[in-house]
């Protein structure tokens, strides 16, 4: 068994090692390239305060860039017996550069090292989530505009209620994503603060330049108080999880609608044949498995904030190993959510809409309010108009042209999709991903 970074004269029991390391080696592969980025910023700062020479810094940066490239190619691994990504990177540097490799940990703890790794990983993943949501949003707005004049029943209590439209249906989910993006932006802002330099949560006697590492890594600001920087672990993940759960909630509801509206009892939409699955016994089946799995996966994602809260609840200030377990539920969730968004985007872009739903007179009663309002406009008191239409329906005398004339903002005839799109674009611009990209490229020497 390889010696731990923290081991001295006594080697840890093998079973204790297995239990305490847990899934860290697998989870740390998510963080590998961000660990390298954080180390590059840290050692650049160490050179500026004379804890490394310019020559040592040059050698270390060159090797770290090679490690980063190997990670991007998928060649990096954490070797058997190596505890975590931090140990692996330091080991690789020491093999190549000798004692110089051992100097990168000055002024740093694995506590603030994993904190910065998590922040860098999370902000990169949030960017990808935003890009996926953006694609889905534009598909939904496009479909809303395309089918704005196609009416469908609206429901309350799963009873037919009032006229709706596919313009409203698609557009509603688009606007829901606007609110989700606001939540994502708040999570991004909380995430994009630098904890590096807080060490084990109590700072360092070295004159660390935390402003410098903040700038090098493209953070908006630092987590100033070193105790709070450590207290922020778990809190950041929980807040991000709430934002991801918000997106997942929108997708889950849309998935339910798609499953229900594509069933023969409704027949409002038809899913692309290539996106459905069959039955081993019933040759006619075309099952909406993608949306059923999306619904289940997104409902699971909506439980993530509670899982994180239960892990971190009632911990006092300072670091505790409990926090390690958060990585196991948090790091993989981004891939799961991105997969669900992409599947939803693909199908919603190809879904077929039934333009003749209301030809069936079983939906005639949804126009009852239209008729009540028509009578009110003619001077009939609302309560009298309501009673007359209700009695006509009971007696089977009700009829209507099946046309609607809604003009107020956000209604069938005035979707406000342009304003929804403007709001969405303003939220996207507010992330300012370009500043982070520029900082990371500069650190890696990849500037154009």
Residues labelled as active-site residues: 157, 279
Q: Which residues, other chains included, contact 162 with Cβ-Cβ below 8 Å and sequence gap of 6+?
A: 154, 366, 369
Q: How far apart are CA 226 and CA 239, in angstroms?
A: 20
The tokens of 14 are what? Answer: 């093998």
Locus of tokens 């879904």: 351
CA-wise closest residue to 284 among 269, 268, 264, 266 = 264
**Which two tokens mark 247?**
């997106």
Residue 129 CA, chain-centre distance (Å), reads 5
Helix (H) or strand (E) holding 346: helix 333-350
Calpha distance 425→416 (Å, rounded): 14
| Residue whose entry in the numeric block shows the structure tokens 């989870």 | 27
- Nearest partner of 73 among 33, 107, 133, judged by Cα: 33
Tokens of 61: 């940066």
Q: What is the dihedral of CA 252, 256, 258, 262, to 10 degrees?
A: 160
Paired tokens of 195: 């904890």
8 A C-beta contact, residue 77 and residue 91 = no
From the centroid of its chain, how far is CA 226?
28
């Amino acid at each position: 068994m390889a010696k731990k970074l923290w081991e001295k004269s006594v080697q840890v029991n093998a079973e204790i090692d297995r239990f305490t390391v847990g899934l860290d080696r697998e989870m740390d592969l998510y963080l590998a390239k961000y660990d390298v980025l954080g180390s590059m910023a840290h050692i650049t700062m160490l050179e500026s305060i004379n804890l490394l020479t310019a020559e040592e810094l040059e050698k270390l940066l060159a090797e770290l860039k090679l490690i980063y490239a190997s990670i991007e190619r998928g060649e990096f691994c954490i070797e058997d017996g190596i505890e975590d990504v931090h140990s692996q990177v330091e080991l690789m540097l020491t093999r190549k550069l000798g004692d110089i490799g051992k100097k990168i940990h000055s002024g740093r703890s694995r506590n603030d090292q994993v904190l910065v790794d998590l922040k860098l990983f999370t902000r990169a993943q949030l960017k990808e989530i935003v890009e996926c949501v953006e694609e889905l949003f534009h598909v939904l707005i496009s479909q809303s505009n395309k089918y704005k004049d196609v009416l469908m029943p609206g429901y309350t209590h799963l009873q037919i209620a009032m006229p709706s439209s596919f313009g409203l249906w698609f557009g509603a989910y688009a606007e829901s994503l606007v609110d989700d993006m606001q939540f994502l932006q708040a999570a991004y802002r909380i995430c994009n603060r630098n904890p590096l330099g807080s060490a084990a949560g109590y700072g360092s006697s070295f004159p660390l330049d935390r402003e410098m590492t903040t700038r090098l890594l493209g953070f908006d600001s630092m987590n100033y108080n070193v105790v709070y920087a450590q207290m922020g672990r778990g809190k950041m993940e929980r807040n991000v999880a709430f934002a991801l759960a918000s997106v997942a909630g929108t997708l889950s509801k849309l998935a339910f609608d798609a499953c229900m509206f594509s069933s023969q009892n409704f027949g409002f939409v038809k899913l692309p044949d290539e996106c459905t699955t069959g039955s081993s016994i019933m040759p006619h089946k075309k099952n909406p498995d993608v949306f059923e799995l999306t619904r289940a996966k997104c409902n699971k994602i909506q439980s993530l904030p509670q899982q994180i809260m239960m892990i971190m609840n009632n911990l006092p200030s300072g670091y505790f190993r409990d926090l390690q377990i958060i990585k196991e539920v948090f790091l993989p969730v981004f891939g799961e959510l991105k997969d669900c968004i992409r599947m939803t985007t693909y199908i919603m872009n190809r879904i077929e809409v039934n333009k003749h739903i209301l030809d069936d007179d079983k939906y005639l009663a949804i126009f009852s309010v239209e008729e009540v309002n028509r009578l009110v406009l003619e001077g009939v008191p609302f309560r009298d108009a309501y009673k007359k239409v209700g009695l006509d329906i009971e007696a089977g005398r009700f009829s209507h042209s099946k046309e609607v004339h809604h003009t107020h903002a956000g209604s069938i005839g005035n979707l406000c999709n342009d304003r929804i799109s403007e709001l969405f674009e303003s939220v996207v611009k507010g992330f300012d991903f370009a500043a982070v990209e520029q900082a990371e490229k500069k650190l890696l020497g990849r500037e154009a």
